[in-house]
Chains A and B, each alone.
Chain A
Amino acid sequence: MAQLNIDRVSKSFGKTEVLKEVSIGIEEGEFLVLVGPSGCGKSTLLNMIAGLLDPSSGEIRLDDARIDDQEPKDRNIAMVFQSYALYPSMTVEKNMAFPLRMAGVSKADQKAKVNEVATLLQIEHLLNRKPAALSGGQRQRVAMGRALVRDPKLFLFDEPLSNLDAKLRVDMRTEIKLLHQRLGKTIVYVTHDQVEAMTMASRIAVMEGGLVQQLGTPAEIYDRPANMFVATFMGSPAMNLLPAIAGADGKTIMVGDQTLPLSPIAAAPAKGQTVKLGLRPEWFNLTGEGSAIVARVELIEPTGPDVYVSLRINGERVMARLPAGTEIDAGTERTFHVTLDKAPIFDADTGAALYA
């Protein structure tokens, strides 16, 4: 039995249905990331776990006890917010002690616990400052500290890194992951950033349109996307989708007049069926690995470590990622190679992946 059980939870605001019978089970010590574009319902779900919103239907259970009818404070859950939500009038110490104070913990115990957590997060020297005197990264730490002092069963993070600049974001990402490894607490983490999801999660729930599109480990999500949405949402640059027609033998696929072998992971579509072939940009190469494919080079975008090459294949725009220093000219037509052993195909109508 999972530690946190989200069981057919729906939420409507007036006539708009934001979540549609979402079910997710989370094991103790897991790091679950809810990822999706804005408006997909991920924050709504998080707020319902926290108790800040009531589900329209469905149940939420924590350690087998139903919590969806409890006050937030009775759920033994802590949350870190995007804006950090530090209380402006209180010092860092008072901010961190606040949950303990509300729980009626003695002054001495408050102090001891706050000091312990402050040491863990290396913010002892900030304890007497007000939030306004802290940098973004420091505020972030204090917000986590305030969550940690309660020793909750479950941590919720609502886009905690999106207000930080790019470099700090990467550092804090590492730090949160380290903290998770050290403390082994269950975490539910909401983000719209697929890189954050891939790097931090033990499991990812990709959400869109109020539904969980796919729930799985980062590797499963990346290597076996359940549908075209997941395939294109996870990964940057996004997976290319090329219209293709299934070959007669069930082992090939036609992209325009070019014939490519079907990946072993893909189910054989019926002859002549129109599908979408998924090609990740990094599968392209000029070293002869995989199957040959002819493309017109439109634009070169060096990024430093890589070169992004914008191609036209059969009239479709396709993005390829090649190593830095690759010699290539825009405006020419040339033969690339592409490794197809993980290439999925998708039903052109439903968007669902067709796996063998």
Chain B
Amino acid sequence: MATARNRASFERGFVYLVLLLSAAFFLMPLIAMIFTSLKSMPEITGAAGFENNTILTPPKEPSVAAWGAAWSSACIAVACEGLRSYFWNSVLMVVFAVAISVMLGAVNGYVLSKWRFRGDNIVFGMLLFGCFIPFQIVLIPMARLLGILDIAGTIPGLVFVHVCYGIPFTTLFFRNFYVTIPDELVKAARIDGAGFWSIFFLILLPISTPIFVVAIIWQFTGVWNDFLFGASFAGADARPLMVALNNLVNTSTGTKTYNIDMAGAMIAALPTMLVYIVGGRYFVRGLTSGAVKG
């Protein structure tokens, strides 16, 4: 009896040990980033006075100088104005791309779930396929189309691209959500005299808040974190933050300034981390329902 209990508590200890070690593994890069961003270069390189410092030792003389530099004075290619303007590029791009793709997805999901028509499942399947294509397959023609539309290299151009490839995801979210709303609600509204749009705006929209949060979070993180489209289609003035961050870190001339690199990475990471912390529940639901049908 006692040995059985011993074994059980040993097993529990082992479970906790694995979980805590994993937590350390997942937290380590974040800690290293934050610590490094608050250190001076001598402290990072272990110069005199800092011989025993590692990437995981807390900063001895914490300073936000590197954050300031990353924000407004670090050199990216030839311009030494920091990430600031790119940050606002990203914000502008995200706001419009998210708003448009989420609204379109909501309407699409409404039609595909509540106004079934012949072949609607094929249409849905065709949209769904768009979630999975490797974007490399569309890069060349898209560059051309943006040129034809005269929005090549601009933020509207990037918004357009993100809307096109966001629609499949937002449609999937809303369709799977509206499928769970009883059809009788729509039938009742039709008998009560409501039409296509009044049903959507008066009956369904007021109860769609949860899925809006999911879709907005998903699109926000997706567009904010995008690199491929930004690198392929953005001109010098329209570059989003991720492209600028990569340029800052990987094309710097002279000695690497790790503290500024890490501060830049943190600046780029903070908005989505914040969304994750505030809306974690919805974030997870988005991740999983983006992958599995609802």
Q: Which residues of A contact B (CB under 8 A)?
A: 47, 50-52, 71-73, 77-79, 81-83, 85, 87-90, 98-99, 102-103, 146, 150
Contacts and interface: CB of A to CB of B under 8 A. Distances in A.
B189 A87 contact: yes
Contact of A72 (B182, B191, B203): B191
27 contacts: A47-B187, A50-B187, A51-B190, A51-B191, A52-B190, A71-B190, A72-B191, A73-B191, A73-B192, A73-B193, A79-B187, A81-B184, A81-B187, A83-B182, A83-B184, A85-B184, A85-B185, A87-B189, A87-B202, A90-B206, A98-B189, A98-B202, A99-B191, A99-B193, A102-B192, A102-B193, A146-B188
A77 B185 contact: no
Contacts of A50: 187, 191
Contact of A146 (B182, B192, B194): B192
Contacts of A71: 190
B22 interface: no
A89 B207 contact: yes
Question: Which residue among B185, B193, B203, B206 has the maximum number of chain A CB atoms within 10 Å of its CB?
Answer: B193
B190 A85 contact: no
B190 A98 contact: no
Interface in B5-31: none
A89 B207 CA distance: 6
A73 B190 CA distance: 6
B191 A79 contact: yes
A78 B203 contact: no
A195 B182 CA distance: 28
Nearest to B203: A87
A285 to B, nearest CB: 47
A85 B187 CA distance: 8
A150 B207 CA distance: 25
Contacts of B188: 79, 81, 85, 87, 146
Given A87-B203, A89-B206, A99 B192 contact: yes
A102 B187 contact: no
Contacts of B190: 51-52, 71-73
Question: Which residue among B184, B187, B192, B206 has the maximum number of chain A CB atoms within 10 Å of its CB?
Answer: B192
The 8 closest A-B pairs by CB, nearest first: A102-B193, A89-B206, A73-B193, A85-B188, A99-B192, A85-B184, A81-B184, A72-B191
B194 to A, nearest CB: 5
A302 to B, nearest CB: 40
Contacts of B198: 102
Interface of B: 182, 184-185, 187-194, 198, 202-203, 206-207
Contacts of A72: 190-191
Given A52-B190, A71-B190, 17 more contacts: A47-B187, A51-B191, A72-B190, A79-B191, A81-B188, A82-B184, A83-B184, A85-B185, A85-B187, A85-B188, A87-B203, A88-B185, A88-B207, A98-B202, A99-B192, A103-B193, A146-B188
Nearest to B198: A102
B124 to A, nearest CB: 19
B41 to A, nearest CB: 57
A73 B184 CA distance: 15
Contacts of A79: 187-188, 191
Nearest to B181: A88
Contacts of B182: 83, 85
B193 A78 contact: no
A87 to B, nearest CB: 5
A51 B184 CA distance: 13
A103 B207 CA distance: 23
A82 B188 CA distance: 11
A183 to B, nearest CB: 19
Contacts of B191: 50-52, 72-73, 77-79, 99
Question: Which residue among B184, B188, B190, B207 has the maximum number of chain A CB atoms within 10 Å of its CB?
Answer: B188
A50 B190 CA distance: 10
A270 B187 CA distance: 53
A98 B189 CA distance: 8
Given A88-B207, A89-B206, A89-B207, A102 B194 contact: yes
Question: Which residue among A78, A87, A150 has the maximum number of chain B CB atoms within 10 Å of its CB?
Answer: A87
Contacts of A99: 191-193
A140 B203 CA distance: 19
Contacts of A89: 203, 206-207
Contacts of A103: 193
B213 to A, nearest CB: 16
Contacts of B194: 73, 98, 102
A70 to B, nearest CB: 12
A71 B182 CA distance: 21
A116 B223 CA distance: 53
A52 B207 contact: no
